[in-house]
Amino acid sequence: MKVLLVGSGGREHALAWKIAQSPRLSRLVAAPGNPGIARLAEVRPIRADDVEGLVGLAVEIAADLVVVGPETALEVGLADRLAERGIACFGPTQSAARLETSKGFTKAFAARHGIPTAAYGAYQTATEAKAALADFDPPYVVKADGIAAGKGVVIAETREAAEQAIDDMLGGQFGAAGSRLVIEAFMRGEEASVFALCDGETALPFGAAQDHKRVGDGDVGPNTGGMGAYSPAPLMSPSLLDEVAQKMVTATVRGMAAEGAPYRGILYAGVMVTEDGPKLVEYNARFGDPECQVLMLRLESDLLPYLDAAARGDLARLPPLVWRDDVAICVVVAAKGYPGTPTTGGLISGLDQDFGPDMAIFQAGVASDGEGRPVVAGGRVLNVCARAKTLEGARALAYGAIGHLGFDGAFFRTDIGWRALER
């Protein structure tokens, strides 16, 4: 099979690593890729939101399948344009991707289909939104409707702070993503990321993980895209996973099909486990990053036939996925300044070492300098991933390897997996 992989982060490096192991693969091309992905695939400098360029590339290489990593490509309709050319795409259409790209859509959809989630209201003007705060208790959860580079959710302790967030969001700070906002009731509990492969009709559970959103040890400091992850997530017992599969995932796949926007690709449910059971925090139309990395380390089955079957509406004929009896962990090594403006350009050392079969160092914010050397090019730079029979074992491997990698200003959390260890 000839595959085009779209994206350039650690998630896509992990996908490339797994896809490259498939005996069914004949050619892997990635756009735009990164230096780590370039060791596994031919890379082409086409951005993940350049729909015309990506469709042209898929046609040029006669791709049998396009695998989309980031939501940016989905939001601008890559899957739709590929379908017009008869090219299978792992990733939802623009309309189905609204599960991620519009919070208002998802909340209304959840209400229509009885999917458990927090009470909410959707507003287009600051006056309406501020008045509606009276209907909620603090802390106030204020969310921009669209995708706002991870900055579109504010949890405000006071009414004044909530009003400020409303003014900021509707005041143009996030462009079109902030033309509408959602206020919802705060949910207390612990959050996990639950995944399912979907083909428009069928959903196949794809495991669960937990990530660490805050920048600092002990879950302090500003939010990030994720400073680390582990899988499985002991919080998600088999019965909770069943409940999520029935009440959220299956209800969503059926509902989207019934509403004329069948969902194909990976469905990533952010789930809050509350005293009243699991509730939907949000959906994403893509793999989590860095959750994808730990799932790829644990997956025993060949991934490619499942991605292909999801894209073609054919999942029901495949056998259940096989997972390794391992725990996987990912520690993100970030650049000084992250999650603000990171310091970029520094040389990265240690990437040529072989850390053995149970480890993978995925490259995220990495580019090549003029001499082909790896340099820091983003906030989250390296994903140091390991698997072992226990979380302690996986942690020891990952943290042991970090000492052999580096760049100026590198930092990481030292407590990835603490919630699972404390259970």
List contacts with ligand GLY (CB under 6 A).
Answer: 211, 225-226, 284, 288-289, 291
Beta strands in 165-260 (DSSP E): 181-184, 190-199, 203-211, 214-216, 220-223, 228-231
CB 27, min distance to ligand GLY, A: 28
Closest chain position to ligand GLY (CB): 226
Residue 332 burial (C-beta neighbours within 10 Å; 0-12, 13-18, 19+) = buried
Torsion from C-alpha of 133, 137, 141, 142, nearest 10 degrees: 0
Closest approach of ligand GLY to the CB of residue 87, in Å: 26
CB closer to ligand GLY out of 82 and 192: 192
> 344 or 383: whose CB is closer to ligand GLY?
383
Cα separation, 392 vs 400, in Å, equals 12
Question: What's the min distance (Å) between Cβ of 123 and ligand GLY?
Answer: 24
Nearer to ligand GLY, 148 or 161 (CB): 148
Nearer to ligand GLY, 110 or 147 (CB): 147
Cβ contact 142:151 at 8 Å:
no
How far is it, in rounded angstroms, from Cα 31 to Cα 12? Answer: 10
Q: Which of 367, 368, 407 is nearest to 384 (CA)?
A: 407
Shortest distance (Å) from residue 420 CB to ligand GLY = 16
User: 225 or 265: whose CB is closer to ligand GLY?
Assistant: 225
- Asked if the peptide bond before residue 70 counts as cis, ω within 30 degrees of 0, the response is no
Quote helix, strand, coil % in the chain, to nearest 5.
Answer: 35, 30, 40
Which of 60, 70, 63 is CA-nearest to residue 92?
Answer: 70
CB of 210 to ligand GLY, least distance (A): 10
75 vs 289 by CB, closer to ligand GLY: 289
CB of 55: closest distance to ligand GLY in angstroms? Answer: 25
